[in-house]
Structure 1
């Protein structure tokens, strides 16, 4: 009875403080323009976070590049590692936003998302500053009531959107910082538009590259094109040696991913449950390559992808200009579900680039930006069970996906320090990296309550295991 009364007291406190949390904690944090390369905004967000956690945290450590670590003492010696990111994507296509991107305005989105009613609209609202603040708020409430069930190690990343390079080095070279951690959890808002909780058992791997091709020429008239190198043409030819006709040509990714029996069964079950049109709406997708829904969804999760996010060269003004460009640049991200090291993929592309350079008068530069392997978490792990139970406590069922098509530096947590990890939690949001990124206002209370139940359930399950 005492335990039930204590839990109800925590629930009441979260409900009673909800409006104040939105107005005085969440919205002010969302209004800080903390896109990764904005050092002023990152520093402002960092100071906000340190000030917020100082009353209930110990051993707050500031590292380079905005990374923060802190301990929060509970009733256990072991600690659950909590990964959180507070940097965001920069603002693009500002004219398409219905409000100022860092204004954190509450309003209704245009159709078809108007059915969600009022939403908080801000860059970083969904990915991932709202779930971060919701989680910290619940920790603060529990600490004030001397009721935090387990100890935590907080990890705040300010470089996630550029691949977390400093964190990756820390995980590789400073493993002792994470001694005593049991698992790693990334608080997120993972409900679909119908309210069902989505839990994904891992991430694709990713390799991000920049390729620059250039010549020493000025930018002469195109009449000279037969006698001088053309960096644009050379770049396109190089790309076509890596990927062409919707298929990889490099050995490491040439063979398609083979689904296991468990994965095929999960896809069978998901095709009975998912609403692909809602998934597309939430992501801002209008057109897809395939018409068959099953093939579209299976490719989304498992097919290796070759994405050119930037391709820049030549005359970009109005009209035309007949000239031979002296440089061409592209940014590429490769995502894959296979159990392959990023070094194997990179070395193949590096070799192809060297061969192209030998055959051309252009100069080639291949830059490795970030990379981490694919990873998985067991469906029967304490993390997964605890998240399913916390959603159920609030009346929500959980849909389990075999994999996330996204990539995350959390994969390096598994590889370097051997911890299971997962991203999960309640709350409805979307349009990450796109104009009008949002979280549904009425779902934020479930985000906070689910954090409470997750911490309690994880502690209970951990005690049973021990």
Structure 2
């Protein structure tokens, strides 16, 4: 049993060990484990081995497991917990381009003092090596006091998250029995925008599609053919303009099948966050919210499905002017999904709409670009309330259950393949510049993140 006195000792151990923990993180950040670049395949292997050695040194049974791509690192502690837990993170990082926008070399990490506090500067500091190491350091502090690691832990660290995770689903299927637990913990998220701790409990899914409409066998002179020949750009925009009505609702048949309304409890939780849609938009030079009539800002970005045109091209777009009817038009579109929406059904409904409106002289080609369902966690599981209380205690601010407008496919993979929900807890900030030059992670996020995991482990194991 974990007593308050023991918990205090573990928290103190984490604080006392912070300088050494930062040194270890710096060593980890120096490894340029860029998974998308074949030139760094050896560095990804080095990062996997570094992580395995750290975990083995702590007493985990740790392995580097090779895949057809980059390796997975797995580790387990001794059994005996009230409930076993699977912790997931990734050790690969994004490319660093454009290099000339970095203020310091991306793989020469350093601690930088800023007016609001010290930060860790370097590629991977926030996404995801710094976040991953908060959990590892929590386990280190735990062992220094208890003499053993927290029981019932399974760790899975991926080396391909930044390159689409091509090996992950096969690995989960092949090792399902060994990886399955009562709950997954995922650290690849952040805090709410005002700095309060948060647990992400729902993620939107995604359908991506490219549409190519062809008409004449060449670009045509608009003086000779305008008004008579089919214009594929006009055809394309006419079709796309029918996907949403003037209230912002999507018009595809059956589109809203499986889309739930917010519960009163979750709506109240989100209302308490004080989200200001106008202020949020002002950060990117906008001020006027658009979207579904009658929906709140957070509801629209976390809990409602969307249709977006991500890119469109056709005809002449160079300098000067060229009066042509283009022979081809291309658009890239995406849907964000919520609830139980079926990605295959949404894709089929969209293609049916396009084909039903296509003139006889036009041809259409479709290319699918990914499809994954939304993920919703069962927050009736008592672990969620326990973890929320633990985060509140550590940060001195009421933790919140939040949504995420984007997709984190691993959460859905855990549900579909391993049959378990995930608790997504991270300590990143909105200004961490992940995927961009000058990435950083607050030292306070690293310190309190470690302490937060200690509290969560004490409550759950």
Fold shared per TM-score above 0.5: yes
Q: Which has the higher helix share?
A: 1
| From 228, 247, 250, the counterpart of 1:248 | 250
Q: Does 1:130 align with 2:130?
A: yes
1:144-155 maps to which residues of 2 (within 5 A)? Answer: 146-155=147-156
| From 85, 89, 92, the counterpart of 1:80 | 85
Partner of 1:412: 413
SS at match of 1:65: coil
C-alpha displacement of 1:275: 4.4
C-alpha displacement of 1:366: 1.9
Any idea what the Cα deviations from partners look like across 1:206-231, whole Å, max 9, x if unmatched? 22223344568465655566476655
Distance in 2 between residues matched to 1:279 and 1:399, nearest whole Å: 22
Any idea what the Cα deviations from partners look like across 1:78-128, whole Å, max 9, x if unmatched? 7422222345556678787666666656557xxxxx874443455554343
Pair 1:316–1:426, CA change in 2 (3 A): same
Distance in 2 between residues matched to 1:95 and 1:328, nearest whole Å: 36
Partner of 1:462: none
SS at match of 2:168: helix
Consecutive unaligned residues in structure 2, runs of 5 or more: none
Partner of 1:342: 343
Partner of 1:270: 270
Any idea what the Cα deviations from partners look like across 1:310-365, whole Å, max 9, x if unmatched? 33445555444455555544433311223222121122123334445673434x33
Partner of 1:396: 396
Mapped contact 2:390–2:455 kept (Cα < 8 A) = yes
With 232-241 and 300-309 compared, the bigger mean Cα shift is at 232-241
With 417-426 and 270-279 compared, the bigger mean Cα shift is at 270-279
Partner of 2:48: 49
Mapped contact 1:429–1:438 kept (Cα < 8 A) = no
SS at match of 1:181: coil
Partner of 1:298: 299
Distance in 2 between residues matched to 1:350 and 1:86, nearest whole Å: 38
1:425-440 maps to which residues of 2 (within 5 A)? Answer: 425-430=426-431, 431-432=433-434, 437-440=439-442
Q: Does 1:68 align with 2:72?
A: yes
Any idea what the Cα deviations from partners look like across 1:373-419, whole Å, max 9, x if unmatched? 22322223243134223313424334333633222211232133220
Consecutive unaligned residues in structure 1, runs of 5 or more: 109-113, 460-466
Pair 1:229–1:390, CA change in 2 (3 A): same
Partner of 2:192: 192
SS at match of 2:300: helix
Any idea what the Cα deviations from partners look like across 1:57-86, whole Å, max 9, x if unmatched? 434312233251413223338742222234
SS at match of 2:240: helix
- What is the TM-score when the length of structure 1 is the normalising length? 0.78
Q: Between Structure 1 and Structure 2, how many residues are aligned?
A: 449
Partner of 1:454: 456
Distance in 1 between residues matched to 2:283 and 2:31, nearest whole Å: 23
- What is the TM-score when the length of structure 2 is the normalising length? 0.79
1:376-387 maps to which residues of 2 (within 5 A)? Answer: 376-387=376-387
Pair 1:24–1:242, CA change in 2 (3 A): same
CA-based RMSD: 4.1
Any idea what the Cα deviations from partners look like across 1:251-274, whole Å, max 9, x if unmatched? 1325795524xx234323432443
C-alpha displacement of 1:48: 0.6
Q: Does 1:424 align with 2:425?
A: yes
